[in-house]
Amino acid sequence: MSTTLFGHRPSSHGPFRNLVQVGYSSSRSSPQVETQREEALLSISTYAGIPGFFYTKPFFLPPRNPNDGTHGAVEKGLGYGAFGVVWSVIDPRDGQKVALKRIPRAFHNPITAKRVYREFKMLSCLKHDNIVNLIDVVKTERYANFDEVYFLFELMQTDLHKIIVSPQPLSLDHVKIFVYQILRGLKYLHSARIVHRDIKPGNMLVNSNCLLKICDFGLARMDDPYGEAVLTQEVVTQYYRSPELLMEATRYSYAVDIWSVGCTFAELLGRRILFPARSPLEQLELIINLTGSPSPSDLEHCHPDACAFVLSARPRHANASMLHALAPDVDEMTVHLLSSMLKFNPHKRISATEALKHPFLEEARLRYHSCMCSCCHVESPSTSSCASSTPSTDSAPSTPGKFSSRYETKTAANAHLSSSCSTSSSSSTVVRRRYCCDLDPVCPILLPLNLDAGLRHVSDAKSALWQCICEYFHQDDRTARVLLNRNAVNFANFINSSVAQAKEVPASHRWH
């Protein structure tokens, strides 16, 4: 018997079903043996009715056979990044599996402390289908013990990197639906004046229905339209790093995310990294082989030595054939959108809003809002005779922006436009779907550009984050909170799990 992760919507779109292979097989029936109850990593903290007093109640993991080592890993590590550790755990309030992100040594230095503060402030305000959802913060009882930070997120089943390197078939329809969702999430982020700065396949979480969510906001920060802040170039994994970052530009903006989307887009098509360089200088060479040699006006704000290096190289022309060679089904429309993301000059790069209007994504938008999104709603199905049924004259959404309609489709004739439903020779099920007014919305909240202004010291960031978390708890009407359970069977393993030490790729080249 197979099982899937809790909390996911049922699969409703045939072509995208079973892309992600998940679950485990239970062991064959065996004689009854004595089972043991083990405590989960999270326990419940409930208000006792007296200010300052709470009841703490442990949550027990499902019984298991002590001789079965494979079935026992109900809670386990999922990933180890440069800034945090992620485990799959059980939320004791509802028994669902969630992702617990531990950020050790959160207040080790001012840079890390400010990053954690920004991540929480952003995620607590962002609510979007294509951005990972912050479920809660694990409560720390006293400020004196506030040395690490623990965030609870919804648990997804895989990520784009794992899908790309897997043997699973990946059609052009899959590529379209993934790119559409990435851009949809980015439009929302950029409208909130947030630059993610670490867009890559590994940070695109995916579930078995191909719903995609952007995660890992550890490097995200507010945009700097006036060039007042000192921005680091040590952002974005090298393979997805834009030319302006490789050339140490003193100013950069949302275009660095779009370049990374272009690299991810190409990787989905070709199932390989677009610019597999071993060093930042080689990365720059590979980029110029594709885009052609930049003009001096394309190098605004870049380091003078980097400009001299690029302009002294032999002139090269743009080579679109490299993009056509990514996959057999790559056509002119695909290359047009992809090349518009991979412009050397960031000012000539397409924006997320503009990219969403590209005809390459029209079908993906229709598919997404027909069966995957939470913003559009299915009305009660009706059954009608095939002879007397007449499709509605209302049309399904084909362009982004303000739109509202009711769309009727007979599944026998338009299966690609509607949700799955049963049909028969004498009658067909008609699905009526009400589409939302704004298919690709912007963020209704504008976060302040000076989000972390005044946090000069570790103590400033720590105090500000503690205050924000206290306000977060106060605003939430739930009384039950979660705490780390020191008696949990996996507590020692969880606390001792450390972040990755080795960097995935070399740091930026230092121009002198």
Which is catalytic among the residues 198, 216, 298, 452? 198
- DSSP conformational letter for 297: G
Cα pseudo-dihedral 462, 463, 469, 473, rounded to 10: 150
Distance in Å from the first CA to the final CA of the chain:
61
Q: Which amino acid is at 296?
A: P
Distance CA 24, CA 72 (A): 11
In terms of C-beta distances under 8 Å and separation of at least 24 residues, what long-range contacts does 54-57 make, across chains too? 54/481, 56/483, 57/92
Q: How far apart are CA 457 and CA 155, in angstroms?
A: 34
- How far CA 394 is from CA of 22, 79, 357, 404, 412, in Å, comes to 39, 46, 21, 9, 18
SS3 readout for 444-490: CCCCCCCCCCCCCCHHHHHHHHHHHHHHHHHHCCCCCEEEECCCCCC
> Residues 352, 400: contact at Cβ < 8 Å?
no
* CA distance readout (Å), 479 to 37, 228, 352, 469, 504: 26, 42, 39, 15, 41
Token pair 């489709």 is found at 409
- Binding-site positions read 101
Burial class (CB in 10 A: 0-12, 13-18, 19+), 386: middle
Quote helix, strand, coil % in the chain, to nearest 5.
30, 15, 55
Spatial contact of 40 and 60, defined as CB atoms under 8 Å apart? yes
Burial of 31 (0-12, 13-18, 19+ CB in 10 A): exposed
Is 129 an annotated catalytic residue?
A: no
Cβ proximity of 101 and 488 under 8 Å: no
User: Which residue ranges are tagged as binding site for ATP?
Assistant: 101
d(CA 366, CA 273): 29
Q: What's the chain's Rg over C-alpha atoms?
A: 25
Active-site residue set: 198
